[in-house]
Amino acid sequence: MSAFSRRGRATCLAAAVAAVTLVAGCGNNGVSTGSSGGVVQLSMLTGFTGPDEASYQALVTEFNQSHPDIHVTMTAEPWATVAQKLPAAWATGGGPDLATPSSDPGSIFNYIKTNSALPLDSAVGTGSGQIDSSAFPSVVRSAFTVDGKLYAVPANMATLVLYYNKDMFAAAGIKTAPTTEAEFIADAKKLTVSSGGKVSQYGLSLADNNTIQMWPILQWMSGGDIVDSKGCATVNSAASISALTQWSQLVIQDHISPIGQAGADADTLFSSKKAAMEINGPWAASGYTSAGINLGMVKVPVGSAGPVTLASTVPLMVERNGPHTAQAEQFLAWYTGKTAQLKFSQISGFPPARTDLGSALSGNATVSLFASALSDAKLYLAGLPESTSIDSDVYVPMIQRIERGANVASATASAATQINKLTGCAS
Amino acid sequence: MATSELSSPRAAADRRPGRPPAFRSGGPRRVARIAGRLGAGVSWLVVVLGAAAIVLPFLWMLGVGFRTSGDLYADPARLWPDQWTLHGVRAVLDQLPFTRLIVNTFVFAGGTTILLLLFDSMTAFALARLRFRGQNALFVLILATLMVPFQVTLVPVFLTIYHFGWLNSYQGLIIPRATSALGIFLLRQFFRQLPRELDEAARIDGANDFTVYWRIILPNAKPILATLFIIQFAALWNDFLWPLVISSQTQMQTLPAALTLFSSQSGVDHSALMAGAAISLTPLAIAFLLLQRYFVQGVATTGIK
Amino acid sequence: MTSLNPSSGAPRRRPRRRFNSAYLFVAPSVVLIAVFIAEPILQSAWMSLHDWTIGSADNPFTGLANYRSLWQDSRFWNALRVTAIYTAAVTVGQVGLGLAIASRLRRTTWYSSLLRTAYFFPFVASLVVVGIVWKFLLDPQVGLIDAWLGDLGVSNPPQWLQSTSLALPTVIVVGIWKNVGFTMIVLLAGMQQVPADLYEAAMLDGAGPWRRFTAVTLPALRPALLFTTLIATITGLQLFDLVFAMTGGGPVFSTESVVMYLYQKGFVEFQMGYASAIAWVLFIIILAVSAVQLRVARNRDGD
């Protein structure tokens, strides 16, 4: 009955210890080490998990085909996941060679601070195989240049326009899409249909969290803003307060939009024909059309401050301590080059992230619309290292409070105090 | 306490707990009995309604998996689809490398659970049946680790795994999770309840510690092992964050992570999301239904004393 | 029966320092816990004493500065309030309801078995799936609940997860829903252990069903009640996945738990030092609460 002798036990223990050390020592983190038969393998981590993933993949495939000595593999995971994995992965030098850290351009600051991202200036130039940053839209270039160095290229470039459901407009007797803020408000009210206290159709689908921001546009239309160029809060300026009061009253009293929607909810509300209008970016167009909506798109209506809309760009960065930074830079150069950007615009509907392609795309109405909005577009919380904190800790909660009836003056006042504390603004 | 010898068969039958003794007279007692029955009826109704409420979300989830988005928005009050579609199921199967995901999740959840049962039972055996210095302190320390939220240790563990070179590998996924404080606790409680005569009989026959463990204790622990298996397997199967952090390559992805693909920033694909959720739940549901008869028995014998 | 030296049949000789095989048995678990749980816990304690950003070359030692900031951080206190309310409500709800249901479903009839299985089922579903399903179930546009309320004539069905006052209670209900089955099983097992003669004796004393419950069942269930309460408390205080999936901590922080705040600080804003400090404070709280519960139980056992 004695299955183990004492000596056997000691041997067993020694073997176990040996096994553990062996296993601990041998492991290469499962990363395909670079060259296999002369082809450099690059990995790219992105957050493009939606219907637009196919467009990015198409670009990657074309690059691989035209560059037989480099092979890029793109993976897409939810943005929250990328944000969790990337910092530690890049800090240890074991992460992907290329990555989009977040859909928020303000996310680059942390990777710069921890020296995880490669400055790209050495690869910038107008020659072939070089990154032509002078062709980037200026908002993009300034968003990605920190302390005079370029740290990212645009993975995409988006502006927001007003989508509307033509059938719903016709049913409400509205002949044309709104071009001024006054028309915008009137249409939103008219298109909101409710019976017995329950809203069956919303005029406008607004989102306040986990979304590309829409509320800043409503402020900008009247000359309001959130911060100024020095990082001091302007969210409590008279223009901001009146804009926010006006629009929050429309939501609270006229029910033009549900409250508390995340970006995805807002999109789905519009694509399911329960809302007549939505401010959104180029990625949504194909989804709406395939949902069977008689889709119309116009530039965001003009308010007292002139034409304005929101621009957003996703940063694409290179791992600083990666083994193949030269090839990664080559990929970026190709990606932002004319051929790739042209193709990307054509298949995705995004405007190109280059300012020298205008005429080539004039045939494509969608792309032209988004591209034409670029000249009036502003970035949300541009260039601030604290932008992520301001967004999640201050701005979003403030909008949520206002939507639920909080006093606008006091909500904006406390938001301003918080912002100034975060940015260190002296006023 | 005075107990009379109740020798009649009826009284004996009524000795089962929960059964009121037969009343022998009517009047106020009969009213009380009817009230009691009514109360029992009401409480049964509540329990059944409660069970329906428990199950309702899953039924609805199943329904949404087969509904078009338009149908969902147009008539949210329906439980079952009016317009059926296989779009959700197809999206899940097309967009995800399904076989790969299932294999990975099985290897991760199954492999880890088996290792876990082995290591935990060994430790529990030592804590319950053997004597060694620092025994109690060790037990308390193990319990203390239950109280630390996972997010706390995530980054340091990631760095450790990186230094071992175990990222994107099965051993990196499995080994750090191959032991559980809850498992050790429950097993120890269970082992303590097993009669010592079993051990002693074996030892007299010359069995050493390992034999007692392997041939006496484990075979008698089937209920708790089955219970622990389902609890841990389910927890690991559903683990979203851990595999995501350890494996950056799609080759190594597990099912829960992949499902989040359908809830992106540009619209929610309800039917795909719910279909995916239903699909990910199915293996667990099957395992659960197969093993559930062991639960009460397993937990009962831990005594939780 | 004479007991021989259990480890060998050989005649006794002066025992050398025998290698206690117990150490071998505990070795795998202990090694794993030491390397992958204990060491990271200590490392996170170390991180909490620094201004630590992941990957940064320079992480200055700041001593207890993080803890001092935490003391003055109103958002942390809000998170603590949310977590405390959640934990108390879910523990009471889970244990109370679990008890009620278990006492109803004690028999081994097929329908009792079926109902028990139904109640336990949510336990095997992942928190993320549960959160997402409930989020849609409660959605004002596509959710079943509001649709049914509307059909029943409620004119403005509540927006459960969008309301700052209703969001936390809603999350609490879902938490109870998920865990009541587990509590039920444990208490049920405990109930089945109660010897029949105790009930018999009580009946003979004229005790009705309620009195039997309070005088016989409850006291016998004390260990099981302690166990379920303890587990419910520990898991409740670590609330994260459910909130992450259902509300993301909103609206306006009304459902932001301590771990949710920790996640925000550590993984969104990269301040791992501060996040580690939050984690350690939570850890101490969990330890303290558990110790108190155990002490109370031990005192009551004494009488």
Domains, chain C, in order of start with CATH, read 41-51+63-301 (1.10.3720.10)
Q: DSSP secondary-structure letter at A376?
A: G
Q: What is the pLDDT of residue C126?
A: 82
Q: Which residue has the tokens 């940053």?
A: A133
CA distance A227 to A214: 16
Name, in order, each residue with C-beta under 8 angstroms of C188's C-beta and a sequence gap of 6 or more: B296, C102, C105, C106, C116
Q: What is the pLDDT of residues C149-183, one digit of tens each?
A: 888 877 778 889 888 899 999 999 999 999 998 89
A125 vs B265 pLDDT, higher one? A125
Low-confidence ranges of chain B (pLDDT < 50): 1-19, 23, 305
The answer to whether C203 contacts B4, with C-beta atoms less than 8 Å apart, is no
Q: DSSP secondary-structure letter at C251?
A: S
| C-alpha distance from A410 to closest chain B C-alpha (Å) | 31
Token digits of residue C48? 């909490």
* Over residues A340-366, mean pLDDT: 85
Q: What is the pLDDT of residue B118?
A: 94
Chains with 3+ CB–CB pairs under 8 A to B are: A, C
Q: What is the pLDDT of residue A304?
A: 93
| B222-245 CB burial, b ≥16 within 10 A, e <16 | ebbbbbbbbbbbbbbbbbbbbbbb
B18 vs A29 pLDDT, higher one? A29
Query: At A79, phi and psi to the nearest 5?
Result: -55, -40
CB A234 within 8 A of CB A227: yes
* Over residues C3-11, mean pLDDT: 45
Residues of chain A in contact with residue C21, where contact means CB-CB under 8 angstroms, are 9
Residues of chain C in contact with residue A196, where contact means CB-CB under 8 angstroms, are 155
Q: What is the pLDDT of residue A12?
A: 40
Highest averaged pLDDT of the listed ranges A275-279, A283-287, B239-243: A275-279
Axis-axis angle for helices A238-252, A408-423 (nearest 10): 130
Query: At C33, phi and psi to the nearest 5?
Result: -65, -40
**C81 interfacial to chain B (CB closer than 8 Å):** no
- Of all residues in chain B, the one with the smallest CA distance to C212 is B18
The answer to whether A259 contacts C268, with C-beta atoms less than 8 Å apart, is no
| C-alpha distance from B73 to closest chain A C-alpha (Å) | 6
The answer to whether A91 contacts C55, with C-beta atoms less than 8 Å apart, is yes
* Over residues A209-236, mean pLDDT: 91
**Mean pLDDT score of chain C:** 84
Q: Which of C184, C135, C194, C130 is nearest to C160 (CA)?
A: C135
- Of all residues in chain B, the one with the smallest CA distance to C291 is B144
> B285 exposed, middle or buried (CB, 10 Å; 0-12, 13-18, 19+)?
middle
The answer to whether C155 contacts A113, with C-beta atoms less than 8 Å apart, is no
Question: How many CB pairs below 8 Å do chains A and C form together?
Answer: 84
The answer to whether B77 contacts C147, with C-beta atoms less than 8 Å apart, is yes
The residue type at B284? L
Q: Other CB atoms closer than 10 Å to residue A74's CB: what's the count?
A: 21
| C-alpha distance from C218 to closest chain B C-alpha (Å) | 14
Q: What is the pLDDT of residue A37?
A: 64
The answer to whether C19 contacts A6, with C-beta atoms less than 8 Å apart, is yes
- In this prediction, residue A414 has a pLDDT band, given cuts at 50, 70 and 90, of very high
The answer to whether C55 contacts A198, with C-beta atoms less than 8 Å apart, is no
Residues of chain B in contact with residue C43, where contact means CB-CB under 8 angstroms, are 156
The answer to whether A2 contacts B250, with C-beta atoms less than 8 Å apart, is no
- In this prediction, residue A220 has a pLDDT band, given cuts at 50, 70 and 90, of very high
The answer to whether C133 contacts B72, with C-beta atoms less than 8 Å apart, is no
CA distance A228 to A59: 37
Q: Which residue has the tokens 């994995």?
A: A85
**Mean pLDDT score of chain A:** 86
Q: What is the pLDDT of residue C55?
A: 65
Q: What is the pLDDT of residue B263?
A: 61
Q: Which of C193, C230, C195, C204 is nearest to C87 (CA)?
A: C230
* Over residues A312-316, mean pLDDT: 93
- In this prediction, residue C226 has a pLDDT band, given cuts at 50, 70 and 90, of confident
Delimit the domains of chain B by residue range: 87-302
Q: What is the pLDDT of residues C268-288, one digit of tens each?
A: 777 888 988 998 899 889 989
A159 vs C18 pLDDT, higher one? A159
Residues of chain C in contact with residue A260, where contact means CB-CB under 8 angstroms, are 159, 161-162, 250-251
Question: Residue A388 is nearest to which of C24, C27, C268, comparing CB atoms?
Answer: C268
Between vectors from CA C270 to CA C265 and to CA C275, what angle results, nearest 5°? 40
- In this prediction, residue A413 has a pLDDT band, given cuts at 50, 70 and 90, of very high
- Mutate which of A5, A90, A195, A392 to disrupt the C interface (most C C-beta within 10 Å)? A392
Does the pLDDT at position A366 exceed 50? yes
The answer to whether B73 contacts C141, with C-beta atoms less than 8 Å apart, is yes
Chains with 3+ CB–CB pairs under 8 A to C are: A, B
CA distance A165 to A343: 28
List all residues of chain B from 193 to 232 with a beta carbon under 8 Å from chain C.
200, 203-204, 206, 208-210, 213, 230
Question: Residue C40 is nearest to which of B153, B285, B297, comparing CB atoms?
Answer: B153
Q: What is the pLDDT of residue C1?
A: 39
Helix (H, G, I), strand (E, B) or coil at A112: helix
- In this prediction, residue A9 has a pLDDT band, given cuts at 50, 70 and 90, of very low
Chains with 3+ CB–CB pairs under 8 A to A are: B, C
CA distance A146 to A135: 18
Q: What is the pLDDT of residue A118?
A: 93
Residues of chain B in contact with residue C185, where contact means CB-CB under 8 angstroms, are 295-296, 299
Q: What is the 3-state secondary structure (H, E, C) of chain B?
A: CCCCCCCCHHHHHCCCCCCCCCCCCCCHHHHHHHHHHHHHHHHHHHHHHHHHHHHHHHHHHHHHCCECHHHHHHCCCCCCCCCECCHHHHHHHHHCCHHHHHHHHHHHHHHHHHHHHHHHHHHHHHHHHCCCCCHHHHHHHHHHHHHCCHHHHHHHHHHHHHHHCCCCCHHHHHHHHCCCHHHHHHHHHHHHHCCHHHHHHHHHCCCCHHHHHHHHHHHHHHHHHHHHHHHHHHHHHCCCHHHHHHCCCHHHCCHHHHHHHHECCCCECHHHHHHHHHHHHHHHHHHHHHHCHHHHHHHHHHCCC
CB B176 within 8 A of CB B161: yes
Q: What is the pLDDT of residues A35-85, one digit of tens each?
A: 456 899 999 999 887 777 888 999 999 999 999 999 999 988 878 778 877
Domains, chain A, ranges and CATH?
38-159+312-371 (3.40.190.10), 161-311+381-423 (3.40.190.10)
Does the pLDDT at position A126 exceed 90? no
Q: What is the pLDDT of residue C57?
A: 66
Q: What is the CATH number of domain B87-302?
A: 1.10.3720.10
C107 vs B62 pLDDT, higher one? B62
- List C-alpha distances in Å: A399 to A208, A259, C164: 7, 10, 13
- In this prediction, residue A325 has a pLDDT band, given cuts at 50, 70 and 90, of very high
CA distance C230 to C122: 20
- In this prediction, residue A392 has a pLDDT band, given cuts at 50, 70 and 90, of confident
Whole-prediction pTM value? 0.82
ipTM of the complex: 0.77
Question: Residue C185 is nearest to which of B18, B48, B296, comparing CB atoms?
Answer: B296
| C242-258 CB burial, b ≥16 within 10 A, e <16 | bbbbbbbbbbbbbbbbb
- Of all residues in chain A, the one with the smallest CA distance to B169 is A30
Q: Which residue has the tokens 């502006």?
A: A159
Distance from CA of residue C277 to its chain's centroid?
Answer: 21
Whether omega for the bond prior to residue C195 falls within 30 degrees of 0, making it cis, is no
Query: At C63, phi and psi to the nearest 5?
Result: 65, -130
Question: Residue B165 is nearest to which of A29, A75, A76, comparing CB atoms?
Answer: A29
**B122 interfacial to chain A (CB closer than 8 Å):** no
Q: Other CB atoms closer than 10 Å to residue B6's CB: what's the count?
A: 14
Q: What is the pLDDT of residue C172?
A: 96
CA distance A94 to A152: 19
- List C-alpha distances in Å: A346 to A212, A361, C213: 22, 8, 73
| C-alpha distance from A2 to closest chain B C-alpha (Å) | 5
Q: What is the pLDDT of residue B4?
A: 38
Q: What is the pLDDT of residues C86-102, one digit of tens each?
A: 999 999 999 999 998 88
- In this prediction, residue A2 has a pLDDT band, given cuts at 50, 70 and 90, of very low
| C-alpha distance from C203 to closest chain A C-alpha (Å) | 51
- Of all residues in chain B, the one with the smallest CA distance to A48 is B264
